[in-house]
Protein backbone atom coordinates (compact mmCIF):
# COMPACT_ATOMS: atom_id res chain seq x y z
CA UNK A 1 0.00 0.00 0.00
CA UNK A 2 1.38 3.44 -0.88
CA UNK A 3 2.12 6.19 1.62
CA UNK A 4 -0.83 8.26 0.45
CA UNK A 5 -3.37 5.51 0.90
CA UNK A 6 -1.89 4.69 4.32
CA UNK A 7 -2.68 8.23 5.42
CA UNK A 8 -6.20 8.02 3.95
CA UNK A 9 -6.75 4.76 5.76
CA UNK A 10 -5.42 6.19 8.99
CA UNK A 11 -7.76 9.15 8.94
CA UNK A 12 -10.77 7.05 8.04
CA UNK A 13 -10.04 4.76 11.01
CA UNK A 14 -9.70 7.81 13.25
CA UNK A 15 -13.06 9.13 12.01
CA UNK A 16 -14.62 5.74 12.62
CA UNK A 17 -13.21 5.62 16.18
CA UNK A 18 -14.41 9.17 16.75
CA UNK A 19 -17.95 8.13 15.83
CA UNK A 20 -17.74 5.07 18.11
CA UNK A 21 -16.68 7.27 21.01
CA UNK A 22 -19.63 9.53 20.36
CA UNK A 23 -22.03 6.58 20.41
CA UNK A 24 -20.46 5.30 23.63
CA UNK A 25 -20.76 8.76 25.20
CA UNK A 26 -24.42 9.08 24.20
CA UNK A 27 -25.16 5.62 25.59
CA UNK A 28 -23.35 6.46 28.76
CA UNK A 29 -25.44 9.60 29.22
CA UNK A 30 -28.53 7.39 29.37
CA UNK A 31 -27.14 5.59 32.39
CA UNK A 32 -25.40 8.49 34.09
CA UNK A 33 -27.84 11.33 33.51
CA UNK A 34 -26.33 13.85 35.93
CA UNK A 35 -22.72 13.21 35.23
CA UNK A 36 -22.48 10.96 38.28
CA UNK A 37 -20.44 7.81 38.01
CA UNK A 38 -22.89 5.66 39.99
CA UNK A 39 -24.94 3.29 37.93
CA UNK A 40 -25.62 0.49 40.39
CA UNK A 41 -29.39 0.35 39.90
CA UNK A 42 -29.01 0.53 36.14
CA UNK A 43 -26.27 -2.04 36.05
CA UNK A 44 -28.09 -5.01 34.45
CA UNK A 45 -29.48 -2.78 31.72
CA UNK A 46 -26.07 -1.20 31.28
CA UNK A 47 -24.35 -4.57 30.88
CA UNK A 48 -26.91 -5.54 28.26
CA UNK A 49 -26.28 -2.32 26.41
CA UNK A 50 -22.51 -2.90 26.46
CA UNK A 51 -22.97 -6.36 25.00
CA UNK A 52 -25.21 -5.05 22.24
CA UNK A 53 -22.90 -2.20 21.45
CA UNK A 54 -19.79 -4.40 21.26
CA UNK A 55 -21.50 -6.58 18.66
CA UNK A 56 -22.42 -3.50 16.62
CA UNK A 57 -18.89 -2.14 16.85
CA UNK A 58 -17.46 -5.47 15.77
CA UNK A 59 -19.70 -5.54 12.70
CA UNK A 60 -19.16 -1.92 11.75
CA UNK A 61 -15.40 -2.17 12.16
CA UNK A 62 -14.88 -5.26 10.07
CA UNK A 63 -13.70 -3.36 7.00
CA UNK A 64 -10.75 -2.17 9.11
CA UNK A 65 -10.13 -5.14 11.38
CA UNK A 66 -9.77 -7.48 8.43
CA UNK A 67 -6.55 -5.60 7.65
CA UNK A 68 -5.07 -6.58 11.00
CA UNK A 69 -2.86 -9.31 9.65
CA UNK A 70 -1.46 -7.17 6.83
CA UNK A 71 -0.46 -4.35 9.19
CA UNK A 72 0.70 -6.75 11.85
CA UNK A 73 3.28 -8.29 9.54
CA UNK A 74 4.22 -4.91 8.05
CA UNK A 75 4.88 -3.56 11.54
CA UNK A 76 6.61 -6.54 13.12
CA UNK A 77 8.88 -7.28 10.16
CA UNK A 78 10.67 -3.95 10.69
CA UNK A 79 14.37 -4.23 11.48
CA UNK A 80 15.11 -3.29 15.05
CA UNK A 81 17.94 -0.89 14.24
CA UNK A 82 16.32 0.49 11.08
CA UNK A 83 13.90 3.37 10.51
CA UNK A 84 10.79 3.08 12.67
CA UNK A 85 7.56 3.45 10.72
CA UNK A 86 5.35 5.45 13.06
CA UNK A 87 2.44 5.60 10.60
CA UNK A 88 2.24 1.82 10.29
CA UNK A 89 2.43 1.65 14.09
CA UNK A 90 -0.50 4.05 14.52
CA UNK A 91 -2.60 2.11 12.00
CA UNK A 92 -1.87 -1.22 13.69
CA UNK A 93 -2.63 0.29 17.09
CA UNK A 94 -5.96 1.69 15.92
CA UNK A 95 -7.01 -1.55 14.24
CA UNK A 96 -6.23 -3.40 17.46
CA UNK A 97 -8.17 -0.83 19.45
CA UNK A 98 -11.19 -1.38 17.19
CA UNK A 99 -10.87 -5.13 17.69
CA UNK A 100 -10.75 -4.64 21.47
CA UNK A 101 -13.76 -2.30 21.47
CA UNK A 102 -15.67 -5.11 19.77
CA UNK A 103 -15.09 -7.25 22.89
CA UNK A 104 -17.71 -6.58 25.55
CA UNK A 105 -15.30 -7.10 28.45
CA UNK A 106 -12.92 -4.44 27.18
CA UNK A 107 -15.71 -2.13 26.09
CA UNK A 108 -17.28 -2.30 29.52
CA UNK A 109 -14.02 -1.15 31.14
CA UNK A 110 -13.71 1.51 28.50
CA UNK A 111 -17.27 2.74 28.90
CA UNK A 112 -16.78 5.03 31.86
CA UNK A 113 -13.22 5.99 30.95
CA UNK A 114 -14.36 7.36 27.62
CA UNK A 115 -15.54 10.45 29.46
CA UNK A 116 -11.97 11.72 29.48
CA UNK A 117 -12.35 12.43 25.78
CA UNK A 118 -14.24 15.53 26.82
CA UNK A 119 -10.91 17.08 27.64
CA UNK A 120 -9.07 16.16 24.47
CA UNK A 121 -9.82 14.30 21.31
CA UNK A 122 -8.21 11.11 20.18
CA UNK A 123 -7.53 12.79 16.82
CA UNK A 124 -5.41 15.43 18.54
CA UNK A 125 -3.45 12.78 20.41
CA UNK A 126 -2.63 10.81 17.29
CA UNK A 127 -1.89 13.91 15.23
CA UNK A 128 0.74 14.76 17.83
CA UNK A 129 2.31 11.33 17.36
CA UNK A 130 2.13 11.49 13.57
CA UNK A 131 3.89 14.86 13.53
CA UNK A 132 6.91 13.57 15.43
CA UNK A 133 10.02 13.50 13.33
CA UNK A 134 12.45 11.32 15.28
CA UNK A 135 12.35 7.52 15.21
CA UNK A 136 12.82 7.32 18.97
CA UNK A 137 9.79 9.53 19.61
CA UNK A 138 7.47 7.40 17.47
CA UNK A 139 8.92 4.28 19.09
CA UNK A 140 8.29 5.65 22.58
CA UNK A 141 4.62 6.39 22.03
CA UNK A 142 3.63 3.51 19.77
CA UNK A 143 5.52 0.73 21.51
CA UNK A 144 4.64 2.10 24.94
CA UNK A 145 0.95 2.32 24.10
CA UNK A 146 0.94 -1.16 22.60
CA UNK A 147 2.48 -2.47 25.80
CA UNK A 148 0.07 -0.64 28.06
CA UNK A 149 -3.28 0.15 26.60
CA UNK A 150 -4.65 -3.26 25.85
CA UNK A 151 -4.34 -4.19 29.49
CA UNK A 152 -6.66 -1.61 30.99
CA UNK A 153 -6.85 -2.99 34.50
CA UNK A 154 -4.60 -0.45 36.15
CA UNK A 155 -5.03 3.28 35.75
CA UNK A 156 -6.59 3.09 32.30
CA UNK A 157 -7.60 6.73 32.27
CA UNK A 158 -4.24 7.87 33.58
CA UNK A 159 -2.47 5.88 30.89
CA UNK A 160 -4.56 7.35 28.07
CA UNK A 161 -3.72 10.78 29.35
CA UNK A 162 -0.04 9.98 29.72
CA UNK A 163 0.38 8.60 26.20
CA UNK A 164 -2.08 10.69 24.23
CA UNK A 165 -2.82 13.97 25.99
CA UNK A 166 0.61 14.81 27.33
CA UNK A 167 3.60 15.90 25.30
CA UNK A 168 6.92 14.59 26.49
CA UNK A 169 10.37 15.99 25.89
CA UNK A 170 13.47 13.86 25.48
CA UNK A 171 17.11 14.50 26.26
CA UNK A 172 20.20 12.54 25.35
CA UNK A 173 22.86 11.74 27.93
CA UNK A 174 25.57 14.44 27.86
CA UNK A 175 28.80 13.36 26.16
CA UNK A 176 30.94 13.37 29.33
CA UNK A 177 28.37 11.25 31.19
CA UNK A 178 28.26 8.75 28.33
CA UNK A 179 32.03 8.38 28.61
CA UNK A 180 31.80 7.95 32.40
CA UNK A 181 29.05 5.33 32.09
CA UNK A 182 31.07 3.46 29.48
CA UNK A 183 34.17 3.46 31.71
CA UNK A 184 32.16 1.89 34.50
CA UNK A 185 30.38 -0.64 32.28
CA UNK A 186 33.71 -1.76 30.78
CA UNK A 187 34.99 -2.77 34.24
CA UNK A 188 35.00 -6.57 34.69
CA UNK A 189 32.48 -6.50 37.57
CA UNK A 190 29.89 -4.94 35.25
CA UNK A 191 30.92 -6.25 31.85
CA UNK A 192 31.27 -9.90 32.94
CA UNK A 193 27.68 -9.90 34.18
CA UNK A 194 26.36 -9.29 30.66
CA UNK A 195 28.94 -11.51 28.98
CA UNK A 196 28.14 -14.50 31.19
CA UNK A 197 24.35 -14.01 31.12
CA UNK A 198 24.15 -13.76 27.33
CA UNK A 199 27.21 -15.78 26.30
CA UNK A 200 28.51 -12.94 24.14
CA UNK A 201 32.06 -11.98 23.25
CA UNK A 202 33.86 -8.94 24.61
CA UNK A 203 33.76 -7.27 21.21
CA UNK A 204 30.01 -7.94 20.90
CA UNK A 205 29.58 -6.29 24.30
CA UNK A 206 31.70 -3.28 23.29
CA UNK A 207 29.72 -2.74 20.08
CA UNK A 208 26.47 -3.14 22.01
CA UNK A 209 27.42 -0.58 24.65
CA UNK A 210 28.63 1.97 22.10
CA UNK A 211 25.40 1.62 20.15
CA UNK A 212 23.29 1.77 23.32
CA UNK A 213 24.76 5.08 24.47
CA UNK A 214 23.20 6.84 21.50
CA UNK A 215 19.84 5.17 22.03
CA UNK A 216 19.26 6.31 25.61
CA UNK A 217 16.75 9.13 26.10
CA UNK A 218 15.82 10.80 29.36
CA UNK A 219 12.16 11.72 29.78
CA UNK A 220 9.42 11.88 32.43
CA UNK A 221 8.18 8.34 32.82
CA UNK A 222 4.89 7.32 34.36
CA UNK A 223 4.72 7.23 38.13
CA UNK A 224 6.42 4.14 39.51
CA UNK A 225 8.22 3.47 36.27
CA UNK A 226 11.90 4.30 35.78
CA UNK A 227 12.92 2.55 32.61
CA UNK A 228 11.56 1.28 29.32
CA UNK A 229 13.59 -0.58 26.71
CA UNK A 230 11.62 -0.78 23.48
CA UNK A 231 11.70 -3.84 21.21
CA UNK A 232 13.68 -1.73 18.72
CA UNK A 233 16.33 -0.99 21.34
CA UNK A 234 15.68 2.53 22.47
CA UNK A 235 16.19 2.92 26.20
CA UNK A 236 14.03 5.50 27.99
CA UNK A 237 15.00 6.47 31.51
CA UNK A 238 13.21 8.58 34.09
CA UNK A 239 14.16 12.23 34.39
CA UNK A 240 14.61 11.91 38.15
CA UNK A 241 13.36 14.82 40.23
CA UNK A 242 16.61 14.93 42.12
CA UNK A 243 18.37 18.27 42.71
CA UNK A 244 21.72 16.67 43.62
CA UNK A 245 23.43 16.32 40.24
CA UNK A 246 25.61 13.38 41.25
CA UNK A 247 22.63 11.42 42.56
CA UNK A 248 20.66 12.31 39.43
CA UNK A 249 23.49 11.12 37.19
CA UNK A 250 23.99 7.80 38.95
CA UNK A 251 20.29 7.07 39.42
CA UNK A 252 20.23 7.16 35.62
CA UNK A 253 23.28 4.88 35.54
CA UNK A 254 21.77 2.27 37.90
CA UNK A 255 18.57 2.25 35.85
CA UNK A 256 20.68 1.88 32.71
CA UNK A 257 22.47 -1.16 34.16
CA UNK A 258 19.02 -2.75 34.61
CA UNK A 259 17.72 -1.78 31.15
CA UNK A 260 20.87 -3.03 29.43
CA UNK A 261 19.92 -6.55 30.47
CA UNK A 262 16.74 -6.19 28.39
CA UNK A 263 18.75 -4.56 25.64
CA UNK A 264 21.36 -7.30 25.32
CA UNK A 265 18.76 -10.06 25.39
CA UNK A 266 17.37 -8.49 22.21
CA UNK A 267 20.58 -7.32 20.60
CA UNK A 268 21.01 -10.38 18.41
CA UNK A 269 17.47 -10.20 17.04
CA UNK A 270 16.98 -8.68 13.63
CA UNK A 271 13.26 -7.83 13.57
CA UNK A 272 10.68 -6.60 16.08
CA UNK A 273 8.87 -9.92 15.56
CA UNK A 274 11.91 -11.82 16.79
CA UNK A 275 12.11 -9.62 19.88
CA UNK A 276 8.44 -10.24 20.52
CA UNK A 277 9.02 -13.97 20.72
CA UNK A 278 11.78 -13.83 23.32
CA UNK A 279 11.06 -14.83 26.88
CA UNK A 280 13.43 -14.62 29.80
CA UNK A 281 14.33 -18.09 31.02
CA UNK A 282 13.32 -18.40 34.65
CA UNK A 283 16.39 -18.18 36.82
CA UNK A 284 15.79 -20.12 40.00
CA UNK A 285 18.90 -18.58 41.61
CA UNK A 286 17.19 -15.21 41.72
CA UNK A 287 13.58 -16.25 41.94
CA UNK A 288 12.58 -13.82 39.21
CA UNK A 289 11.43 -13.81 35.62
CA UNK A 290 12.18 -10.13 35.15
CA UNK A 291 15.31 -9.92 33.03
CA UNK A 292 16.46 -6.60 34.48
CA UNK A 293 15.92 -7.75 38.07
CA UNK A 294 17.94 -10.88 37.38
CA UNK A 295 20.63 -8.59 35.97
CA UNK A 296 20.70 -6.41 39.08
CA UNK A 297 21.11 -9.58 41.13
CA UNK A 298 24.00 -10.72 38.96
CA UNK A 299 25.85 -7.40 39.17
CA UNK A 300 24.89 -5.90 42.52
CA UNK A 301 23.87 -9.02 44.44
CA UNK A 302 20.25 -7.82 44.73
CA UNK A 303 17.80 -5.21 43.50
CA UNK A 304 19.06 -1.70 44.05
CA UNK A 305 16.25 0.07 45.82
CA UNK A 306 18.16 3.06 47.04
CA UNK A 307 21.25 4.95 45.95
CA UNK A 308 22.93 6.96 48.68
CA UNK A 309 25.04 10.05 48.14
CA UNK A 310 28.12 8.16 49.24
CA UNK A 311 27.28 5.39 46.72
CA UNK A 312 26.98 7.93 43.91
CA UNK A 313 30.29 9.48 44.96
CA UNK A 314 31.97 6.08 44.89
CA UNK A 315 30.78 5.53 41.31
CA UNK A 316 32.00 8.98 40.26
CA UNK A 317 35.41 8.60 41.93
CA UNK A 318 36.02 5.04 40.74
CA UNK A 319 34.92 5.34 37.14
CA UNK A 320 38.58 5.38 36.12
CA UNK A 321 40.00 3.56 39.14
CA UNK A 322 39.80 0.04 40.44
CA UNK A 323 36.22 -0.72 41.37
CA UNK A 324 35.46 -2.84 44.42
CA UNK A 325 31.96 -4.21 43.85
CA UNK A 326 31.90 -5.86 47.28
CA UNK A 327 32.52 -2.51 48.90
CA UNK A 328 30.06 -0.70 46.62
CA UNK A 329 27.36 -3.18 47.63
CA UNK A 330 27.72 -2.00 51.22
CA UNK A 331 26.93 1.54 50.06
CA UNK A 332 23.64 0.76 48.37
CA UNK A 333 20.62 -0.25 50.28
CA UNK A 334 19.48 -3.63 49.13
CA UNK A 335 17.14 -4.11 52.06
CA UNK A 336 14.88 -1.12 51.96
CA UNK A 337 15.53 -0.09 55.59
CA UNK A 338 14.97 3.43 56.95
CA UNK A 339 15.18 4.49 53.38
CA UNK A 340 13.54 7.88 53.69
CA UNK A 341 15.65 9.03 56.60
CA UNK A 342 18.80 9.04 54.55
CA UNK A 343 20.08 11.19 51.76
CA UNK A 344 19.79 9.66 48.36
CA UNK A 345 17.57 8.57 45.50
CA UNK A 346 14.88 6.03 46.08
CA UNK A 347 15.08 3.50 43.29
CA UNK A 348 12.41 1.26 44.65
CA UNK A 349 10.27 2.23 41.69
CA UNK A 350 6.98 0.69 42.70
CA UNK A 351 5.51 -1.44 45.42
CA UNK A 352 4.74 -3.97 42.73
CA UNK A 353 7.83 -5.50 41.19
CA UNK A 354 5.87 -6.05 38.02
CA UNK A 355 5.90 -2.30 37.53
CA UNK A 356 9.63 -2.25 38.00
CA UNK A 357 10.08 -1.32 34.39
CA UNK A 358 7.77 -1.31 31.40
CA UNK A 359 9.41 -4.37 29.92
CA UNK A 360 8.09 -6.39 32.85
CA UNK A 361 8.75 -10.06 33.45
CA UNK A 362 8.29 -11.27 29.91
CA UNK A 363 11.71 -10.34 28.65
Q: How many residues make contact with Zn ion (CB under 5 A)?
A: 3
Which residue among 92, 139, 357, 361 contacts Zn ion (CB under 5 A)?
A: 357
Name the one range near Zn ion by CB under 5 A: 58-66, 159-167, 275-283, 353-361: 353-361
Minimum distance of Zn ion from residue 276's CB (angstroms): 16
Nearer to Zn ion, 24 or 357 (CB): 357
Residue 304 binds to Zn ion (criterion: CB under 5 A):
no
Nearer to Zn ion, 160 or 267 (CB): 267
Name the one range near Zn ion by CB under 5 A: 13-21, 76-84, 235-243, 352-360: 352-360
Which residue among 102, 269, 359, 361 contacts Zn ion (CB under 5 A)?
A: 359
Name the one range near Zn ion by CB under 5 A: 125-133, 143-151, 193-201, 351-359: 351-359
Minimum distance of Zn ion from residue 311's CB (angstroms): 20
Residue 229, beta-bridge partner list: 235
Residue 292 binds to Zn ion (criterion: CB under 5 A):
yes
Minimum distance of Zn ion from residue 334's CB (angstroms): 17
Minimum distance of Zn ion from residue 357's CB (angstroms): 3
The residue whose Cβ lies closest to Zn ion is: 292
Binding site for Zn ion (CB under 5 A): 292, 357, 359
Amino acid sequence: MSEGSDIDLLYSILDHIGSIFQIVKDKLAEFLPDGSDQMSENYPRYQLSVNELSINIENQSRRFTQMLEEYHSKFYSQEILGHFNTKTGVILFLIRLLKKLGESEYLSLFYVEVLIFDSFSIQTGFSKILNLTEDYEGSFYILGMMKELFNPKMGFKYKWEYWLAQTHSFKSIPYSWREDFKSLLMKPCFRNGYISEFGISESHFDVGINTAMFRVKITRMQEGLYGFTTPNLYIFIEKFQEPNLLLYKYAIFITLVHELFHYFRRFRCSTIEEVRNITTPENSNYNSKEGGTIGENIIFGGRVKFLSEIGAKYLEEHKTQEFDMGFFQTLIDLNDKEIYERTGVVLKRSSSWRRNCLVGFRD
